[in-house]
């Protein structure tokens, strides 16, 4: 019989706070993505780009059949399957998740994947082929200087950068630090003595 506060294998049980943080981050950003897309389609359809912040940002409705930066146009069903795979992978990691940074990063990526997946599944022209609603264009209208994007794309980008930064710093999703080659060599040397 395991004691209170431990798992069946006797290891210390951690409260599922990191999973809750991941889910909360994902739900917040996913909801923001859905609301902004509804507002964009309701208010920007058939209108010229709306200049905001002195031209720093333009609100310009675009239906994107491809991935970020308009890559993989015509491969919408493949992108749909990739998004489903990303969602499954993140859900699989949740029970092992112990890092706050990874929880936030994965939550952002999950929200972005779900936001764009929702468009691909439920928007025209049909399931698995739907076009993603993009509406934010920076420095000029129509993706003139930078591709038009949405909140989901921002979540994927910011979450991805955070995850890469954590990996470069040696932080693992389970809360451990990655050992350097030098540390591993020292451990092997000490074990061999």
- The pLDDT tens digits along the chain (193 residues) read 444 444 454 444 555 899 999 999 999 999 999 999 999 999 999 999 999 999 999 999 999 988 766 667 778 888 889 999 999 999 999 999 999 999 999 999 999 999 999 999 999 998 888 999 999 999 999 889 999 999 999 999 999 999 999 999 999 999 888 876 667 677 778 887 6
Catalytic residue among 7, 119, 153, 174: 153
119 catalytic? Reply is no
> What residue ranges do the domains of the chain occupy?
17-192
Catalytic residue among 33, 60, 119, 134: 134
Say what the pLDDT of residue 163 is.
Answer: 98
Is this prediction's pTM over 0.75? yes
Are 59 and 136 in contact, with CB atoms under 8 Å apart? yes
């Amino acid at each position: 019989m395991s004691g209170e506060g431990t798992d069946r294998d006797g290891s210390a049980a951690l409260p599922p706070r990191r999973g809750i943080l991941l889910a909360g981050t994902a739900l917040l950003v996913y909801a923001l993505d859905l609301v902004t897309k509804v507002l964009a389609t309701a208010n920007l359809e058939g209108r010229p780009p709306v200049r905001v912040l002195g031209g720093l940002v333009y609100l310009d409705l675009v239906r994107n059949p491809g991935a970020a930066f308009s890559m993989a146009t015509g491969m919408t069903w493949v992108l749909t399957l990739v998004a489903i795979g990303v969602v499954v992978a993140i859900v699989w990691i949740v029970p092992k998740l112990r890092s706050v940074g990874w929880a936030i990063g994965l939550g952002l990526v999950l929200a972005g994947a779900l936001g764009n997946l929702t468009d691909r599944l439920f928007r025209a022209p049909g399931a698995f082929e739907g076009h993603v609603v993009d509406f934010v264009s920076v420095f000029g209208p129509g993706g003139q200087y930078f591709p038009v994007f949405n909140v989901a794309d921002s979540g994927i980008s910011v979450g991805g950068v955070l995850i890469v930064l954590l990996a470069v710093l040696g932080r693992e999703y389970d809360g451990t630090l990655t050992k350097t080659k030098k540390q591993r060599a020292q451990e092997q040397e000490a074990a061999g003595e």
